[in-house]
Amino acid sequence: MTEAFDVVDIIRTKRDGGTLSVAEIDWVVDAYTRGVVADEQMSALAMAIFLRGMDRGEIARWTAAMIASGERMDFSGLSRPTADKHSTGGVGDKITLPLAPLVAVFDVAVPQLSGRGLGHTGGTLDKLEAIPGWRADLDNDAILRQLEDIGAVICAAGTGLAPADKKLYALRDTTGTVEAIPLIASSIMSKKIAEGTGSLVLDVKVGSGAFMKDIDAARELARTMVALGTDAGVRTTALLTDMSTPLGLTAGNGLEVRESVEVLAGGGPADVVELTVALAREMLDAAGRTDADPRAALADGRAMDVWRRMISAQGGDPDAPLPTAKETETITAQEDGVLTRLDAYAVGVCAWRLGAGRARQGDAVQAAAGVELHAKPGDRVTAGQPLLTMHTDTPERFDRARQALEGGIDIGASDEGVRAGEVVLEKIAG
């Protein structure tokens, strides 16, 4: 077969700051998926995109080409509207777990096709697999049946959705191009558009524990993704949310499930509840349920009822005890004062090193490993008071996990300078 383009010419065009044509983009994504373009060539193109960027038309076409590499799901036959949420990843970010059943209370279907963690950010599927019997893999028919019957599903995305993205994502992770905004945006939105949801709310994290460390980069990513969704006919909004401190009081798989159940029972940490309710309101508004009261549905048990049905439908036992770690070690305050900083990235790496995360795709994770926080910034502490407890089944991990926290915890004489702002920083609409 004679190929339409020479990939080296395409690499040179982007390297020199040029704009790729529709035909060039369609060809290079398809040729890479087919194996005609080699990994080292796509690596060079990804780095050129990272350094030179893409305009809105290029990003839209790149996203469309990624979608065209696989199948598209169709939820139009459901008896209720669909709404989905995507988070760019953070530490202690368990929001999907209470959010999906909460939104489903109001007769909105939530097709939450989720992923696994890599590095310091936790994966939704890893968390749920801490529940005995729960399974992540469902075929398309099972997804549709569960959405019609229960209203919410959290499961793995099928291999047929945007296979070009799966291949390119693995390459970006090993070539220093993960942070390229055109590639992040097209990766996320190709899967979400192919998924077929009617509306989408993006939770774009900002801060040390996020991929976007500063608000300007996060804002650019959010605007890019909102534009992609809007152009594709998906009603899309984004919230920029704080990830300088871990969300809630836990980071780790089984620990975060336990905390999510507390939220569904009407309790839980205030920041987790605040973000869950804020995202639920955005999703419900996008689906036309403007008079819904998600906070009430957490308080009165309706969201918990949907959670239990959702977990049971995927083979899980919502009443089974969650795994507990064989070993724990507690970090205490070294002095009296106010906890002024608890760095999200430091806590995330600590949990990762304890066994809650993976260094490479396919690595196993420990269901019970992670970090439990006993104080948050702004809290007054005394010398010897527990600040956090590390959990693991492999105590030889404690030394390196402890090292991750060095420089990540500050105690001051007063709470001056402690930012007690809202979890939601900004909203970006289409």
Domain boundaries, given as residue ranges, for the chain: 7-53, 83-320, 327-412
Residue from 172, 219, 235, 341 carrying the catalytic annotation: 172
pLDDT tens for the chain, 430 residues: list them: 788 899 999 999 999 999 999 999 999 999 999 999 999 999 999 999 999 999 999 999 999 999 999 999 999 999 999 999 999 989 999 999 999 999 999 999 999 988 877 667 778 999 999 999 999 999 999 999 999 999 999 998 877 888 898 889 878 877 888 888 999 999 999 999 999 999 999 999 999 999 889 999 999 999 999 999 998 999 999 999 999 999 999 999 999 999 999 999 999 999 999 999 999 999 999 999 999 999 999 999 999 999 999 999 999 999 999 999 999 999 999 999 999 999 999 999 999 999 998 877 677 899 999 999 999 999 999 999 999 999 999 999 999 999 999 999 999 988 776 776 689 999 999 7
Q: Residue holding tokens 């009261």?
A: 293
Buried b (16+ CB within 10 A) or exposed e, 287-326: bebeebbbbebbeeebbbbbbbbbbebbebebeeebbebe
Half-sphere exposure of 294 (CA within 13 A, CB side): 26
Q: Residue 383: which residues within 8 A CB-CB, separation 6 or more?
A: 332, 333, 334, 335, 336
Catalytic residue among 87, 114, 186, 187: 187
Q: Give the number of other CB atoms < 10 A from CB of residue 70.
A: 19
Query: Which one from 86, 116, 281, 341 is the annotated catalytic residue?
Result: 86
Task: Determine the Cα–Cα distance for residues 33 and 24; give it in Å rounded to an integer.
Answer: 14
Contact (Cβ atoms closer than 8 angstroms) between residue 388 and residue 331:
yes
Residue 396 is classified by DSSP as G
Task: Specify the CATH architecture of the domain 83-320.
Answer: 3-Layer(aba) Sandwich (3.40)
Active site residue 69: no
Q: Is 172 a catalytic residue?
A: yes
| Catalytic one of 80, 116, 166, 191 | 191
Known catalytic residue at 52:
no
DSSP 316: -
For the 327-412 domain, the top CATH level (class) is alpha beta
How do the residues of the chain divide into helix, strand and coil, expressed in percent and rounded to 5?
45, 15, 40
Catalytic residue flag (residue 190): no
Q: Quick one: fold of 7-53?
A: 1.20.970
165 is catalytic: yes
| Residue 399 CB contacts under 8 Å (≥ 6 apart), including other chains | none
- Residue of 84, 93, 165, 203 marked catalytic: 165
Asked whether the beta carbons of 422 and 274 are under 8 A apart, the reply is: yes
